[in-house]
Structure 1
Amino acid sequence: MYISKKAKVGSNVKFGYNVIVEDGVTIADNVSIGHNVVIRRDTVIKEGCVIGDNTVLGKEPFKAAISATTEKRELPALIIATNVTVGANCVIYRGAVLKDYVFVGDLASIREDVTVGEYTVIGRGVTIENKTTIGRYVKIETEAYITALSTIEDYCFVAPEVTFTNDNFLGRTEERKRYFKGPTIRKGARIGANATILPGVEIGEDALVAAGAVVTKEIPPRKIYAGVPAKELKDVPAEQLLENQSYYRG
């Protein structure tokens, strides 16, 4: 185990074997760190967090020569707030912020310039690309792919294997870079398994996208869309609206 003399470690912190803690890291009280964890410089881990085995925190992004969304610049430190749980074999980049009570499943990847709101669940194997904002009480389930430049507001549900996209030109022409934009998912919207959401599409509050749908245009609030391409099916039933759920806190 290596813990830098320039790191700050609180009381009752538990370390597994072969942990590396670099310069400037701050670890608050009552944190549990698994085996083979690497905590890169300046990372902040607040009280009560649990970090699973083989996870890397505060990783610097590598920039490919042809990358269109990754910037070479100094990023702020990774911030992991109070009582966050991060599973095994995760990679969370420098410049991300995970707020209180976030849960991150095993094998997840969260890039730089990403904010994840309180009580949100990031499922096993989920990828969240850079410059993305995720609200409170969101559930993103196993193997979903959230592309760069996306927005997911509070209380949204994203089922397994959902794919967000942000490039209508599929990597051709320099002009495409002017139009990069991920989807925007408004408060309380739900997306079914294996759905694909095209670049820049907005899904309205409390709308529902059926499993396997391909969403090519804006979806109004409180509507159900299904099919390829997705078309309006009916209204979301009143008993399913977010405002009528016992767990909804506004």
Structure 2
Amino acid sequence: MSTSAYIVHLSAIIDDGAQIGVGSRIWHFVHVCAGAKIGQNCSLGQNVFVGNHVTIGDNCKIQNNVSVYDNVHLEEGVFCGPSMVFTNVYNPRSLIERKNEYRDTLVKKGATLGANCTIVCGTTIGRFAFIGAGAVVNKNVPDYALMVGVPARQIGWMSEYGEQLALPVVGSGKAVCSHTGTVYTLHNGQLNKAAVAE
């Protein structure tokens, strides 16, 4: 089924009040709650759940079996791999109501969250960071950082294109993305995009 603005599969449930941007695609068995705000040109794969207090920026891709719970906020261009996990309560118990203890999670522009990774609530994932498959993130992640393992640790840096850069985790240096020619400089633990190489 399609509306004038976006595509929705017949099996999907879109609660009244949900905001969905032009060009977005909502696939099989998705449930979007009433308070959700979803940007333009997003793709929500099969069996995705989107809570009430959730914002999803333009051009995000959320693969199958991902639940985006309350207090999770995705900036534009975020990729959520299949079956990756968000949480919103740090120490849940079945018999104790803790909705007033939800912690915000922010995933910044262009970040990739690999298949089956877990993002523990209360963390911020930096711009264009790359979280490897199966990693468990329990602390803030810098822009462009490549994170793997349980708990996740930084093993390198990624370009905006999605290529690992030949740079040390700490220290300083300069690297060029071979796909785009973009120059990246590392200084004091921060990676910045400099310019386009000639």
Same-fold status (TM-score > 0.5): yes
TM-score w.r.t. length of structure 2: 0.77
Where does 1:49-198 land on structure 2 (aligned, <5 Å)? 50=2, 82-171=4-93, 176-198=98-120
Who wins on radius of gyration, i.e. which is larger? 1
C-alpha distance 95-181 of structure 1, shift in aligned 2 (>3 A): farther
Native 8 Å contact 1:165 1:182 kept in 2: no
> Is the 1:157–1:189 contact (alpha carbons within 8 Å) kept by the matching residues of 2?
yes
Q: Are the counterparts in 1 of residues 136 and 150 from structure 2 also a CA contact under 8 Å?
A: yes
Pair 1:208 & 2:123 matched: no
Tell me the distance in 2 between the aligned counterparts of 1:97 and 1:177. Answer: 23
Instruction: Give me the whole-angstrom Cα distance separating, in 2, the residues matched to 1:166 and 1:229.
Output: 18
Aligned length: 164
Return the letter of the residue paired with 2:154: E
SS at 2:146 equivalent: strand
**Is the strand fraction higher in 1 or 2?**
2
Match of 1:17 in 2: none
- What is the distance in 2 between the residues matched to 1:204 and 1:210? 14
Q: After the TM superposition, which parts of structure 1 deviate over 4 Å for at least 4 consecutive aligned residues?
A: none
- Give the AA of the match of 1:210: G
Q: Decide whether the 8 Å contact of 1:143 with 1:160 is kept in 2.
A: yes
Indicate how the Cα distance of structure 1 residues 239 and 100 shifts in structure 2: closer, same or farther if over 3 A, else same. closer
Q: Quick check: 2:128–2:160 contact (8 Å CA) kept in 1?
A: no
Residue 120 of structure 1, CA deviation: 0.6
Per the alignment, residue 172 of structure 2 pairs with none
Deviation for aligned residue 1:88: 2.6
The 1:220/1:192 distance shift into structure 2, 3 A limit, reads: same
Conserved? CA contact 2:128–2:159, under 8 Å: no
Q: Which one has more relative contact order, counting CA pairs under 8 Å at least 6 apart?
A: 2
* Identical-pair percentage: 27
Residue 26 (structure 1) aligns with: none
Contact 2:107 2:125 (C-alpha < 8 Å) held by counterparts:
yes
Q: Runs of 5+ in structure 2 lacking a partner?
A: 164-179, 182-198
- What one-letter code is carried by the residue in structure 1 that aligns with 2:55? T
Once residues 160 and 106 of structure 2 are traced to their aligned partners in structure 1, the CA distance between those partners, rounded to angstroms, is: 23
- Conserved 8 A contact 1:164-1:182: no
